[in-house]
Structure 1
Amino acid sequence: MTNIDPAVGKAVLAADRKHVFHSWSAQGLINPLPVAGAEGCYFWDYEGNRYLDFTSQLVNTNLGHQHPKVVAAIKEQAERLCTIAPSFANDQRSELARMIAEVAPGDLDMVFFTNSGTEAVENAIRMARLHTGRHKVLAAYRSYHGSTHGSIALTGEPRRWGSEPAIPGVVRFHGPYPYRSAFHAADEREECARALAHLEEVITYEGPQTVAAIILETVVGTNGVLVPPDGYLSGVREICDRHGIVFIADEVMVGFGRIGEWFAVDAWGVVPDLITFAKGVNGGYVPLGGVVISRRIADTFRERPYPGGHTYSGHPLACASGVATLRVYHEEGIIERVRRLGEEVAGPLLRELAERHPSVGEVRGRGLMWAIELVRNRDTREMLVPYNASGPAAEPMNRVAAACKKRGLWPFTHFNRVHVVPPLVITAEQLKEGIAILDEALAVADEYVTG
């Protein structure tokens, strides 16, 4: 560990509290941890406290912190060409687009680059509306699609509330969630059938001729790690084909290896019309996102200008880091190792953990993306904390998180869940270490069990 100096840490925090306005936060109620450095799957503060990063920061540092090959690529590109406008052709931009198209499913072989996932979603929606000439977009309640005006309107969770009223034309539907079924389904097969019937009904009521797109997270991320039942995504594809609707897969979080596939749709053999990506494409080393576009939609703009763009679209430093990242994926067999770690380590250990703790209602996930859903009562499935809890109502989850941090694990928590989303380069031993700490910390949640 480097840069250990408590006095520097105090100065960093003081300047932060005086001048930095933090996202999603009541500014006077937060106390951000000053981070002195990071390497691999760990980061540390100025006091010398080291944490195993079970969050991948915001589920984006897929290759961990300071991967030498990615850092070297950024340095080399900075010395050669720091920036160039997106109207020019650039070798790193072209190569990254080629590499993404190579691993994308079906005929998705063109890439529009953005600076983030939220911008990717904004542009995907614009493409779908212009392609179809329609205006409505269907989005799920349990979802997060970004923080800009359009993407937050698509978001189903409470973070959208403060931005309403938002863009018109957004219509919500319930996606599958077998553990808390909105359709009173008895099993996953019934959940799938009823969720598709519900989606079809919403489209009927809205008028198929008015619906431009259906956007969904292939695996719902922050809002539950909801793995779709077999047949659901292919059912959505069929509905879209029948009604001329654009199918947008939001893979900002799950794209590039998170569940053990290049793109999560590959696990179900489904080809959407547009895929939004960011995060894992270069681990967040330089801001980067984009849309992978099917040939059919790209052809809409062959002789018709696409009315959108960004000053930093396909920024050379970002693309250089992306090229290096994807090369590491290939060279180090990242996709295969994630699949193996999920099947042989994370899945079995988390299911064993669930058996030991009455506060665990369900464990679900795939690859290196898992959720531990905490409850007060397994029979009633009462959540450990209420939906969107804050203040005293959130205390049980806050205590679980604090117990993890005390033991050297930085957890990802949301509502009544702990998510296990470590860097994809984590070793089996480190994964076991983190789950063992979670095992100890869940004793706190067990204190609240009522039945």
Structure 2
Amino acid sequence: MTEFASPDVRPDTDKGAQVARDDRAHVFHSWSAQAQIAPLPIAGASGSYFWDFEGKRYLDFSSQLVNVNIGYQHPKLVAAIQEAAARQCTIAPSFADESRSEAARMIAERAPGDLDKVFFTNGGAEATENAMRMARIHTGRHKILTTYRSYHGATSGSILATGEPRRWGSEPGAPGFVHFWGPYPFRSAFHSTSPEQECERALQHLRDTIMVEGPQTIAAIMLETVVGTNGILVPPDGYLAGVRELCDEHGILWIADEVMAGFGRCGEWFAVDHWGLAPDLICFAKGVNSGYVPLGGVVMSARVAATFDDRPYPGGLTYSGHPLACASAVASMRIFEEEGILEHVRKMADTVIGPRLEEIRAKHPSVGEVRGLGVFWALDLVKDTTTNEALVSYNASGEAAKPMAELMAACKAEGLWPMTHFNRLHVVPPCTTTAEELAEGLDVLDRALDVADAHVTA
């Protein structure tokens, strides 16, 4: 794989202070109480690292928002964007554009089944928003079923489809969104005692939900193929196949939200490839070009696309299929193939991340479970090893969330930037992270977890 430039980490405290002052004065940050945050000014990044204006370097185990799959400042990807900018910076989506056409073709060639048409968006939320609109028009139905442990974006429809607490502030909203419990063997809502039983009971719960909601009213079931922010929940074998069967039985579309799980994160182009299945629509963003330029989209099956052969699709975006974004996606996919990044991800999962996390789990009583695929892992932390009570309560904040805050601080103190959500510590580095870098970061996690162990009560 490409060697990234060695970090040029030089302190510039005056500039860092100016960045912080301007941010505080003028930037309104998402998901935040503005007076209670102090965003870290970032001076630069390369490969799997970024650094601040004080000269402190961090190994990124969060990939920012689990999107910098190809690593920071990949020289080939930067060059491709520069070349595209010199050729053509922008053109409206009503025209045929070289980069847009090539990106769509390459994405379709890598998508499963007959998913062969691509509608481009600027990001993941717009992708799920448009996928739901397509499903409703295609079926003539209005309900969308999603799980409680999910995040699908923050636009008006996608936030209502979201199951986790970030939805609450946008309610009440448009009708037609129904939530149900997906499989989670470690914290089973169905009192299961095995993955097989969890699969069977979760599918029966979904079948019952479809029954009482009325299958004739349901346009789509939208699932994160592997649940991301809400737990890195890898579905038990047979679950997604069962969802496919239920959808086919009732004329419901299956939307796979792969905004986070796709494009290498799980070691495949699309996470559904792990189970050999084809949804009706796939939503993508993040890893398609690692956020170098905003891009997302929906890949749709032939029968969904045919709905709009002679009927205009009632949706569009000024920057749909932006040439620079599409050029970066083309370059990224080529780099993934030329450098064997998918193979690298699978090798790192099998030989480094998986084995080392199991060692960590065996050593630390606070680690109740380890789960994941590719470079998409989570440690489910507990404070009671007998009951598996979560280290911090659901949606904890303030003093109640202190154990996780202490754990994050311990990681950052040693130069590791972690990702946490509720009681979970996620391990989601760039797909290009080397075995040596992974070992470095996992060693830091190992030491930092002593902080979480101190909160274990039984």
User: How high is the TM-score relative to the length of structure 2?
Assistant: 0.98
Q: Secondary structure at the match of 1:194?
A: helix
Gapped regions of structure 1 (runs ≥ 5): none
How many angstroms apart in 1 are the aligned matches of 2:116 and 2:343? 23
1:149 deviates by: 0.7
1:152 equivalenced with 2:137 (yes/no): no
Deviation at 1:336, TM superposition (A): 1.1
* CA-atom RMSD in angstroms: 0.6
| Post-superposition CA distance 1:382-440 (Å, at most 9, x none) | 11111101111111000000000000000001000100000000000100100000000
| 1:173-188 alignment runs, 5 A limit | 173-188=180-195
Q: Name the CA distance, whole Å, in 2 between partners of 1:265 and 1:88.
A: 32
Matching of residue 99 in structure 1 with residue 106 in structure 2: yes
Whether the aligned pair in 1 keeps the contact of 2:9 and 2:57 (CA below 8 Å) is: no
**Counterpart of 2:307 in 1: which secondary structure?**
helix
CA distance in 1, matches of 2:260, 2:180: 21
SS in structure 1 of the partner of residue 149 of structure 2: coil
Residues 2-151 of structure 1 mapped to structure 2, 5 A cutoff: 2=9, 4-151=11-158
Residue 346 of structure 2 is aligned to residue 335 of structure 1: no
Match 1:313 to one of 309, 320, 328: 320
Aligned residue for 1:275, secondary structure, equals strand
Whole-Å separation in 1 of the counterparts to 2:421 and 2:213: 32
CA distance in 1, matches of 2:85, 2:174: 39
Equivalent in the alignment of 1:387 = 394
Q: Distance in 2 between matches of 1:28 and 1:113?
A: 36
Shift of 1:4: 2.7
Runs of 4+ in 1 over 4 A off after TM superposition: none
Deviations 1:248-268 (A, max 9, x none): 000000110101111000101
2:396 is paired with a residue whose SS is coil
Q: Distance in 2 between matches of 1:31 and 1:372?
A: 27
Q: Distance in 1 between matches of 2:355 and 2:174?
A: 44
Instruction: Give the 3-state SS of the residue equivalent to 2:116 in structure 1.
Output: strand
Give CA deviations for 1:149-196 in whole Å, capped at 9, x if unaligned. 100000000001000012210011100000000000010000000000
What secondary structure is seen at the aligned counterpart in 2 of 1:182? coil
Would you say the 8 A contact 1:3–1:37 is kept in 2? no
Cα pair 2:58 2:415 within 8 Å, conserved: yes
Gaps of 5+ in 2: 1-7
1:276-323 superposed Cα distances (whole Å, 9 cap, x missing partner):
000000000000000001001000000110000000000001001111
Percent of aligned pairs sharing the same letter: 68
Q: Secondary structure at the match of 1:22?
A: coil
Q: Which residue of 1 aligns with 2:253?
A: 246
For residue 270 of structure 1, report the CA deviation from its aligned partner: 1.0
Provide the C-alpha distance between the structure 2 equivalents of 1:140 and 1:171, rounded to a whole number of angstroms: 8
TM-score, normalised to structure 1, is 0.99
In 2: Cα distance, 1:167 partner to 1:420 partner: 35
**Structure 2 counterpart of 1:177, one-letter code:** Y
Q: 1:401 aligns with which of 386, 391, 408?
A: 408
- Residue in structure 2 matching 1:271, options 256, 260, 278: 278
Report the AA paired with residue 144 of structure 1: Y
Q: Secondary structure at the match of 1:107?
A: coil
SS in structure 1 at match of 2:220:
strand
| Alignment correspondent of 1:434 | 441
1-side partners of 2:343 and 2:9: how far apart?
33
